[in-house]
Amino acid sequence: MVATVIATGMVTRNDVEAAAARTRNVVRHTPLTLVESGIFPATVMLKLEQLQHAGGYPVRGVFNQVVAGLERRAFDPDAGLVTAYTPAVAAAVVHVARRLDLPVTVFAPASADRTPGGSGKPSPAANASTTITVDGTLADAQLEAERHAVATGAMHCPGLTPECWAQMVAGAGTVGLELWTQTLGQLDTVVVPERAIALAAGISAALAGHVRVVEATSTPERCAVARHDLWHERRIAVDDVAACAYAFLVDGYHPADGERVAVVLSSADTAPATIPAPLSPSLSALSA
């Protein structure tokens, strides 16, 4: 398991601050919780970004992209937004469209499971204004989404592509600004899941020169154990990507004495049926 320092790329703190100004009234400022002393030699905090709208940090970048586009009049609001179906991105785009009262079209490959409850996961396409099934792969659906944007004047929201990379990273970086405020600047290290690429780059841009941002890697088995432990011990429901950051802290990073570490639980793209049942009675049962 290796801690990798993340490069900031072409996004600066000014870009992140601009994204924060655009999105302050539409994104959820997620809480930070302190892990009780005695478990780690360091001060360890969990950033509960899985509580973000649509279940994770990508919605921050999509909001930044779309609000900036509205400011520049870069697309036709009557045509709205268009995206291809990938669960995390499509869920974020559909949420942003609904929040900003814009129509949204989702192009989905025929092989995608878009039946509500069919996979146990929420279906972002189910809430789209229009869902169009495309024969072929996700790449074919992406191509159709691009063609739709050109033909109608809609904004294409493809996620982490070169055309949107800077806006997605700057939006994700607002997590870093929140962390700095929530910790009153008392922060040394931020641990981010390996697969949360834009999040790592965005936080690095936001907090460059102040904290170290490291990429968490772990095995699928350890991520699954971490996900189980987060639920049973803390009632925190996350997916395997987010659980990787916690697994890394337990088995790979080993914080130093006195180090102040924030672990970003980035997402909850998880099937409700796979979350273990509570060990205690539900509130509804107690009130019956």
- What is the three-state SS of the chain? CCCEECCCCCCCHHHHHHHHHHHCCCCCCCCEEECCCCCCCCEEEEECHHHCHHHECHHHHHHHHHHHHHHHCCCCCCCCEEEECCHHHHHHHHHHHHHCCCCEEEEEECCCCCCCCCCCCCCHHHHCCEEEEECCCHHHHHHHHHHHHHHHCCEECCCCCCCCHHHHHHHHCHHHHHHHHHCCCCCCEEEEECCCHHHHHHHHHHCCCCCEEEEECCCHHHHHHHHHHHHHHHCCCCCHHHHHHHHHHHHHHCCCCCCEEEEECCECCCCHHHCCCCCCCCHHHHHC
Query: Could you tell me the residue range of the domain that residue 50 belongs to?
Result: 4-56+167-272
Full pLDDT tens readout for the chain, 288 residues = 333 444 445 899 999 999 999 999 999 999 999 999 888 889 999 999 999 999 999 999 999 999 999 999 999 999 999 999 888 899 999 999 999 999 999 999 987 654 433 344 545 555 567 889 999 999 999 999 999 999 999 999 999 899 899 999 999 999 999 999 999 999 999 999 999 999 999 999 999 999 999 999 999 999 999 999 999 999 999 999 999 999 998 888 888 999 999 999 999 988 767 776 656 554 444 444
Does 67 share its domain with 149?
yes
Residues 138 and 175 in one domain: no
The pair of three-digit structure tokens given for residue 215, joined into one six-digit string: 């990429």
Q: Are the beta carbons of 115 and 123 closer than 8 angstroms?
A: yes
**Residue position matching structure tokens 């360890």:** 44
Asked if 14 and 155 sit in the same domain, the reply is no
Select from 159, 182, 197 the last residue of a domain: 159
Cα-only R_g, the chain? 19
Please report how the helices 165-172 and 174-182 are oriented relative to each other, as an axis angle in degrees rounded to 10: 10
Residues 221 and 253 in one domain: yes
**C-alpha span between 122 and 113 (Å, rounded):** 11
- Give the global pTM: 0.88
Same domain? For 153 and 179 the reply is no
Nearest alpha carbon to residue 33 among 238, 262, 214, 189: 262
Among the candidates 102, 131, 159, a domain finishes at 159
> Does residue 93 lie in a domain region?
yes
Longest dimension (CA), the chain: 59
Same domain, 41 and 64: no
Tokens matching residue 157 = 């929201």
Domain termination residue (choose one: 159, 189, 209): 159
Q: What is the CATH number of the domain that holds 99?
A: 3.40.50.1100
pLDDT score at 286: 43
Say yes or no: 172 and 32 in one domain.
Answer: yes
**Which tokens belong to 248?**
């890394």
Count of structural domains within the chain: 2
